[in-house]
Amino acid sequence: MIKNKINFVTGETYTLAELFSGSRRIIIPDLQRDYCWGDKVHTDEKKELVSGFVNNLINQFDNNDYKDFLNLGLLYGYEAPANHIQLCDGQQRITTLYLLLGMLNRKTENNVFRKYLISDYEYLQDDKEPYLQYSIRESSLYFLSDLVCHFFIKEKEDKLFVTDCKDIEKSTWFFNDYKYDPSIQSMIRALLIIDNILNGKDNDWCRKFGDFITTKLTFMYYDMENRKNGEETFVVINTTGEPLSSTQNLKPLILRERINENNKEMPKQWEEIETWFWKKRKINNGNDTADMGFNEFLRWITILELDKSGKTEELKRVLKEGTYTFPQESISFGKIYSYWNIVKFLFESWEYREILDDNLLSPKEIEIRDIRRKTKIIEQIDCFQFLPLIAYCEKWEVSDNANRNLWRLYQFLHNLTRIDNVSKAVNELVQDAIFIAKNCEDITGMLDCKNKISQTIATQEEILKLEILRAKPQNRNEIEEAFWSVQSCKDHPCHHIWSGQILPLIEWSTESGIFDLEQFKNYVSTFDKTFEGQCDNNIDDVRRALLTRNLTNYPIKKGSNSSFCWDWKDWTILINENKDAYKRFFDDLLKNVSMQQMIDKFDPSKKWSEFVHKDYLLSYCNEKNIQWDDHQGWLLIQKQRATKYMSVNNLHLEKYLSSTLQQNGWGVRLYDETDAHVVVVENENKNLVFDIWYSNSKWNIQFFKRNCEVEKALKPYVDHTWSFNGGRYEKYNIEFVATDGYSYSNILEEINKTINKIK
C-alpha cells in the first residue's frame, strides 16, 4: 500500500509538469542546506554549477530532436502535510530548473509557463504561494513568492514588475534582509547566469525549450514516508553520516580562502567548534542544531573585528539589525579558532562562569522593533557586557581562571546595564565598552582615558568609585566587595531601589573628601533593615515615618494619583530628590531613634498627620495610591487605578463606629464599590441598614429595610428630621464634627437614637 497521499510511487518517473501542478507544493524543508549552485565554490577552479547544468540541458535539447525523455536521477522526499512534498535530496537541481522555467516564461509571450510556476488559484485568488517553497527561512519563502509574481510573470498592470535581473535588488519588494540570505543571493547570481545563457534566444526557441524542460525531463521518485527517514537519508547523501547545518555553507568559503590555505587543522577544528555549540544548544529556544549558536558566535567575531578596523557605522548596523556577512577573506580560521577558545574559557573554565547566561550560546528569537523583524541573536545589552570580556581576554591574553581584573570589568559593565540611559543608548556604547576592555587592564585605568569615553558610561558616580578604589589600594578588594554587594539584588531584593546607582550612599559616607568604608557599611546595614524584603505592604511604618521628615514631593505624583511609593523606581526617585533629608533619617536610626518614636511625636495638626498616626489608612491602599476629590477629600485607592476606593473620612468613621457601637446584632463594615463607597451599619437579623458617607464637608445617612415596604415599616422609628425619597429615609448635610479629629459623636448619636427606638 502506498503510504504517501499524492499517488507518487517509489520507482516511478515524473516530469516537472507533473511535479508542479494542481494543489501540490514542493517544499525545501528546514533540514536542507541553502541553495548554492549560483556560488563560485563548487570546483577547483571556483566555478558555479548553474552554467554547466543549463548548457548540458540545451545540448540535450538540441541533439535529441525533442523526442526522447531525459532522466535527471532520483528525488527523495516525503509528504507532510497532504500535497506538500518535502525534498530530502534534489533541491539544487529542482531549484535551478524552477529558476530556468521562470526565465523562459519571461522570454516567451503570454506567460505560457506560468502554470508551472504558480497555480491559477494561488496567483489570482489566494496568497500567491508558488509551487516551489523555501522553508529554510522566512526570507527565502517570501522572496520566491515576489520573484514569481513580479519578475517571472509579466503583467502590464503590475507596477512592481522588474524588467532586468540586475534591478531585482533595487525593487520595492526586495527587503534589506534579503541581502543577507545566502539562498536568495545565490538565486540572484543563478538568474544572472541563466539570463546570459538565454541572451539572443527568440520566443519560439524559448517556448520549445520550455516544453522540453517541463515534459521531457524526468525524475525517479523515492518516498521516504516521514521526516525521520528523510533526515537520515539526507545525512547519508549529503554528509556521509555527519550532521549538516547552514554554517557548513560558510565552511567551504572559509576553507578555500588563500588566508587559510596552509591550515591543515581547519576541518577538524571546525567540527570541534560546531560540536561544542551543538552540545550547548537550547531546545527550549527552538534550536535543534548548533546553527544559531555558531552563527551568533561568528557575528560576535565580525563585530569585534569591525571595531579593530574602525568601521563604526557597519559595526552599529550589525549590532542593531543582527544581519551580517562574515568577512572570510580577511579573518583567518586561526583567528576564529582563537576567539572560540576564549568563549570556551569563559563558559567552562572561568571561576565566575555561573554569572554568564548560557542562552548566549543558543539565542532565542527576539523582535527587532526598529526594523520590524524577528531573529535569533542576543540582545544589544548582552553584547555590551559580554563582547568586551572576549576583547579583554584576547588583548591581555587571559589564562588565569581567577583573573580579578576580568571580574572587575564584568562587574563594572554589568552594573551599567541597570542604568536606563545605558540601555536606551546601548548601540552607541558597545564600542566604548570594548575600548575600555582593550585599553584598561585594570578598570581604574579608565580614569586616565575618561575623556575618550561617553559620559553615559563615565558618569560622576563611576568616576568617583574608581577614584576611591585607586586612592585606597590596601583595602581595595574590601571596598569593591562592599560596592558590588549593594549593586546586586541577590541577597536583598530592596537593592532594586539603588538599581546599581549608589552615589547617595557614597556621599553620605564621605567627609572632607575622604571615604569611610565602615560608615558606608553602617548606612547599608541600616538601609537593608529599613527597606526589608520586597518593600511592599511590610514597610508601611517606613512610609509613615518618612512623612514626618518633610520630604520634597512626598507622596510622589504618578498621573492622577499621589503615591507613598510602591515600585522600586518610586523609592529611587524619592531618595535622589531628598538625599540630605534621607541622610538625617538614617542618622537618627543609627542613633537608635525608632520609627515609632518619629511617628508618635509628630504634630497632629500638620499635613499628612492622619496618615502618620492612623496605620489603617495605608493598610487599605494595597499599592499605596491615593487621589484627591473635591467633594470627598482624599480617596484611598486599592490598586493603581480607582476601581475600588474609599474616602479617608469614611474609613475613620468605620473605625470609630466599630469601636463604639456596642448594640446587639449591629455590625459595621465598608462597602467600597466604585459608584458607592459607604460605611454600612446593619442588623442582618432584622434586615435594617444605615448607609453613611462623606461628601462636600458634610455627612449623609440613608436608613432602609431590605425586602419590604420601607416607608410603612420604618415610619415608627424616624422623626420629622428624616425625609423619604421613595425608597429610603435620608438625612443629608449633617455637620462634620470630630472631637479629636477622628471621633464623630454626632453621627453615632443619630444612629443610636434610631436604634434605641427599634429596641
pLDDT digits (tens, 9 = 90+) for 449-483: 999 999 999 999 999 999 999 999 999 999 999 99
Please give the pLDDT value at position 4: 39
Query: What confidence tens digit (pLDDT) does each residue in 481-495 have?
Result: 999 999 999 889 999
Give the three-class secondary structure for 642. Answer: coil
Residue 45 has pLDDT above 70, yes or no: no
DSSP line for 73-138:
EEEEEEE-STTEEEEEE-HHHHHHHHHHHHHHHHHSGGGTTHHHHS-HHHHHTS----SEEE-S-H
Please give the pLDDT value at position 643: 76
Query: What confidence tens digit (pLDDT) does each residue in 564-597 have?
Result: 999 999 999 999 999 999 999 999 999 999 999 9
Q: Which structural domain, as residue segments, surrounds residue 747? A: 644-758
Is residue 61 domain-shared with residue 209, that is, in the same domain? yes
Residue 243 has pLDDT above 50, yes or no: no
Please give the pLDDT value at position 252: 62
Q: Is residue 553 part of a domain?
A: yes
Share of the chain above pLDDT 90, in %: 58
Residue 346 or residue 138, greater confidence? 346
Residue 479 belongs to what H/E stretch? helix 476-487
d(CA 703, CA 70): 100
Residue 729 belongs to what H/E stretch? strand 729-735
Residue 750 belongs to what H/E stretch? helix 745-758
Closest CA to 744 of 678, 648, 634, 653: 653
Please give the pLDDT value at position 248: 52
Q: Is residue 423 part of a domain?
A: yes
Share of the chain above pLDDT 70, in %: 93
Cell of 360: 548566549
Query: What confidence tens digit (pLDDT) does each residue in 713-744 have?
Result: 899 999 899 999 989 999 999 988 777 878 88
Average pLDDT over residues 67-86: 81
Domain stops at, among 628, 659, 685: 628
- Lowest-confidence region among 229-238, 389-398, 536-545: 229-238
Closest CA to 552 of 571, 573, 569, 577: 577
Cell of 97: 530548473
Average pLDDT over residues 331-358: 96
Residue 3 has pLDDT above 50, yes or no: no
pLDDT-derived band at 244, boundaries 50, 70, 90: very low
172, with CB counted inside 10 A (0-12, 13-18, 19+), is: exposed
Q: pTM of the prediction?
A: 0.67
Is residue 255 domain-shared with residue 222, that is, in the same domain? no
pLDDT-derived band at 237, boundaries 50, 70, 90: very low
Residue 78 has pLDDT above 60, yes or no: yes
Give the three-class secondary structure for 524. Answer: helix
Is residue 48 domain-shared with residue 168, that is, in the same domain? yes
User: Count H helices, E strands: the chain?
Assistant: 31, 21
Is residue 401 domain-shared with residue 474, that is, in the same domain? yes
Residue 732 belongs to what H/E stretch? strand 729-735
Query: What confidence tens digit (pLDDT) does each residue in 686-703 have?
Result: 899 999 999 888 999 999
Query: What confidence tens digit (pLDDT) does each residue in 181-213 have?
Result: 888 999 999 999 999 999 999 999 999 999 999
d(CA 496, CA 500): 8
Give the three-class secondary structure for 217. Answer: strand
Please give the pLDDT value at position 673: 75
Widest distance between CA atoms in the chain = 120
Q: Is residue 720 part of a domain?
A: yes
Is residue 654 domain-shared with residue 593, that is, in the same domain? no
Q: Share the mean pLDDT of the chain.
A: 88
Domain stops at, among 216, 239, 262: 239
Q: Is residue 101 part of a domain?
A: yes
Q: How many domains does the chain have?
A: 4
Is residue 673 domain-shared with residue 707, that is, in the same domain? yes
Q: Is residue 521 part of a domain?
A: no
Is residue 235 domain-shared with residue 268, that is, in the same domain? no
Q: Angle 451-456-461 (CA atoms, 0-180°, nearest 5)?
A: 85
Q: Is residue 213 part of a domain?
A: yes
Per-range mean pLDDT, top range of 5-19, 432-446, 630-644: 432-446
Closest CA to 88 of 239, 214, 215, 275: 239
d(CA 109, CA 154): 9
Q: Is residue 7 part of a domain?
A: no
Is-contact 119 22, C-beta < 8 A?
A: yes
Is-contact 588 598, C-beta < 8 A?
A: yes
Is residue 577 domain-shared with residue 726, that is, in the same domain? no
Strand-pairing partners, residue 26, are 85, 132
Domain stops at, among 202, 223, 239: 239
Tally the residues of the chain: 759
Is-contact 734 701, C-beta < 8 A?
A: yes
Query: What confidence tens digit (pLDDT) does each residue in 401-412 have?
Result: 999 999 999 999
Strand-pairing partners, residue 690, are 681, 703
Cell of 317: 548596523
End-to-end CA distance of the chain: 92
pLDDT-derived band at 246, boundaries 50, 70, 90: very low
Q: Is residue 579 part of a domain?
A: yes
d(CA 315, CA 352): 28
d(CA 376, CA 363): 6
pLDDT-derived band at 438, boundaries 50, 70, 90: very high
Average pLDDT over residues 133-144: 83
Please give the pLDDT value at position 29: 80
Please give the pLDDT value at position 228: 52
Is residue 736 domain-shared with residue 597, that is, in the same domain? no
Please give the pLDDT value at position 10: 76
d(CA 754, CA 719): 9
DSSP line for 682-716:
EETTTTEEEEEEEETTEEEEEEEETTS-HHHHHGG
Average pLDDT over residues 341-362: 96
d(CA 532, CA 495): 10
| Count of other CB atoms within 10 angstroms of residue 392 | 24
| Count of other CB atoms within 10 angstroms of residue 36 | 23
Please give the pLDDT value at position 65: 62
Give the three-class secondary structure for 413. Answer: helix
Residue 13 has pLDDT above 90, yes or no: no
d(CA 470, CA 700): 69
Q: Angle 498-500-505 (CA atoms, 0-180°, nearest 5)?
A: 55
Is residue 306 domain-shared with residue 437, that is, in the same domain? yes
Residue 199 or residue 29, greater confidence? 199
Rg over alpha carbons for the chain, rounded to the nearest Å, is 38
| Count of other CB atoms within 10 angstroms of residue 289 | 19
Is residue 315 domain-shared with residue 451, that is, in the same domain? yes
Is residue 415 domain-shared with residue 551, that is, in the same domain? no
Residues 537-576: b if buried by 16+ CB within 10 A, e if exposed: eebbbbbbbbbbeebeebbbeeeebbbbbbbbebbbebbe
